């Protein structure tokens, strides 16, 4: 849900290589991956202590 909110809030540049919709989807996917990795790291650190 957070990644979707961020993707909707960005105003990406448009050029010949990628349109705005593609860039928003990229933000959505990469944002979700980063948030998932951060959550898993925090969970692992908590379980280790």
- Per residue in 12-38, pLDDT (tens digit) is 888 889 999 999 999 999 999 999 999
Question: Dihedral through CA 8, CA 36, CA 29, CA 31, nearest 10?
Answer: 50
Q: How far is C-alpha 14 from the geometric centre of its chain's CA atoms?
A: 19
The number of distinct structural domains making up the chain is 1
Q: What's the confidence (pLDDT) of residue 35? A: 95
Q: What is the residue range of 38's domain?
A: 2-48
Q: What's the confidence (pLDDT) of residue 3? A: 87
Contact between residue 20 and residue 6 where contact means Cβ atoms under 8 Å apart: no
Question: Measured between alpha carbons, how far is 27 from 35 in angstroms, rounded to an integer?
Answer: 12
Compute the half-sphere exposure of residue 4: CA atoms within 13 Å on the CB side of its CA.
Answer: 1
The whole-model pTM stands at 0.73
């Amino acid at each position: 849900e957070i990644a979707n909110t961020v993707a909707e809030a960005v105003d990406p540049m448009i050029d010949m290589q990628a349109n705005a919709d593609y860039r928003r989807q990229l933000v959505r996917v990469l944002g979700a991956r980063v948030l998932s990795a951060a959550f898993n790291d925090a969970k692992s650190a908590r379980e280790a202590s």
